[in-house]
Structure 1
Amino acid sequence: MTNQIKIAVIGVGRWGVHLLRNFLANPQVDVVAVVDPHPERLAAVKHQFNLDEDVVLTTQWEDLKKVPGLTGVAIATPATTHYALIKDALQQGYHVLAEKPLTLDPAECRELCQLAEQHHLILMVDHTYLFHPAVEQGKTVVQGGKLGDLRYGYATRTHLGPVRQDVDALWDLAIHDIAIFNAWLGKIPVKVQATGTVWLQGCGEQGLADLVWITLTYPDGFQAYIHLCWLNPDKQRRLGIVGSLGSLIFDEMLQLSPLTLLHGEFEQEGNQFIPVNQRQVVLELEPGEPLGRVCSTFVVSVLSNTPSEVSSGWVGTQLVEILAALTVSLQQGGKPVFLATYPSSVTLREGDC
């Protein structure tokens, strides 16, 4: 088995540049091509990373078919382009790492996963937060019962831009927190609701929502509430789960101590509820850049021909199905939408991509 793969990076905009940086730093990767429709971006990354002259720089996706021995592609292009690019890549025999969301259509996602299986190829989605040390540690805390009986969850993801023109705030932002809640709980929602407001682009159902409020209901009745907005100068990246024995908080803005376990519960004295056992523990995390872990996992998956258990194409499909259901609810003014019954935990079937 070879210990190195040849990769092309498709799209070197705001996020694709970071994918390129991580793959260039990986000793098991030979970056052989970069594709972007903007020649100035190609010139910029060539200078920034001092790329070798033999690295193909092209504005045309079709040029990759002339690159010998290409193993896989990393796709960081607008979501509306994903389906066609990923399908073509799989049909050409390339393993694929795709930026989230996998596509904007659940049926397209399922088709791509099945295509990857048919061709025995890896299809992985860059759900970066699932590889964050805080999220990995948080899963251990929640599923280890340290919070007691789980009561509810909440998340806030706000900032002032960038404002997307291809998808609304729901599709741009929600997938991160939904993925974290699913991972921590080991479950998939069975009912979802969403309401939103449009200010910047269009209006009503025809516009792209700038503000979105989400409710996720899980099989055991647990509910998580998510607040999303991309025109709020108060930047927040905070998610928590509250239990009978305490709360677990992931606050990405606290870079030195992003994961905190807040112990605390009530003792009843007569008709009074007295807080007891209150203390705060900042949890230590393993070092490592989450995106670097994504890239390394993709490389290992390709070399071993073993799908990622954390962020396979099927996991990405489940998240797109949830977003699609939330979109229906959003368009219907917050009407509850029930999803198909899923397993109680996110597990892969044998052969999943």
Structure 2
Amino acid sequence: MSVQPVAVVLLNWNGWVDTIECLETLLRSDYPDFRVIVCDNASTDGSLEHIQAWAEGRLEAGGAEGFQRLRATPLAKPVPYVRLNAEQALQPPAHDVPLTLIDTGGNFGFAGGNNVGLRHALASGRFAYYWLLNNDTVVEPDSLGQLVARMAADRQAGIGGSTLRHYYAAQVVQVAGGSAYNPWRCRSTPLAANQPAAAPLDAAAIEQRMAYVAGASMMVSDAFLRDVGLMAEDYFLYYEEFDWARRAAGRYRLVYAPDSLVYHKEGGSIGTGARGKLSATALYYLQHNRVKFTRRFFPARLPLLYASMLLELGRAALRRDFFEMKWSLVALLGLPPRGLNTRKRQT
């Protein structure tokens, strides 16, 4: 079987330290044909300049001691790259280089930022698969190859997921492939969450239960992307991957590659602490988009959702968690999220 070319899209927002650590492991992948596209969502910390300095060999990558083995093989510098603005990114690639840096021109959220990279990759017309990978991850050398192999083994495969493990507790599973969905509570549950990594995983059972693939590592086929389309950009943050899966339901399958291992810090991509509470931005959009998604795909279940959210508000009140109460109530009432980091265009 011929090697299928892959475009890997990373989204960065004020997270160049994480992005560089991710690139250090990603570019050591043993898969023979892939290109990396980093989309920067209007960072204010000089992210693109720092990533350029790293690619040119002027800046060292950091990272936890436990993952030094993934960087044991020297990565040759400089790493050839091009830097594009949003308008240039709409054109087919003029240079075939391992790394493309794109200034998206604004903060367009998870879907909007990733879609800039997907459009650029689609314009080339050469890729069979597109891997959306969170920038706050590190990967094994065969993670990409394992994911491609699972996708290629099923002609109906549209979206594929990896085994995500906790970056700070690498022997614990964060999620296997993606999440199940409880229609009565309008809530999703990460599959195999917090299981020991050594415990056996039933890939077939996971695929059967999986309602959507976790967005931290999500591969889509070229056929899927051209048929179903790009991610919906009106969510900004959270529920984009579930929306994608629902739009493809009945046409494409969700698959799981258990040996595609990705270590995820969880929260670095969106500005929340890796092991801390959700930020106001994250909390608001999690609840707001829960309503939006349910209204779009399961409108008959909206009364159940509102009842569930009111119960959760009551529990937050008992805990005296006024921060959660405030932003959950703002989302529930559909009020504008004043003071949050929401999308904006550069002028």
TM over 0.5: no
TM-score, normalised on structure 1?
0.33
TM-score, normalised on structure 2?
0.33
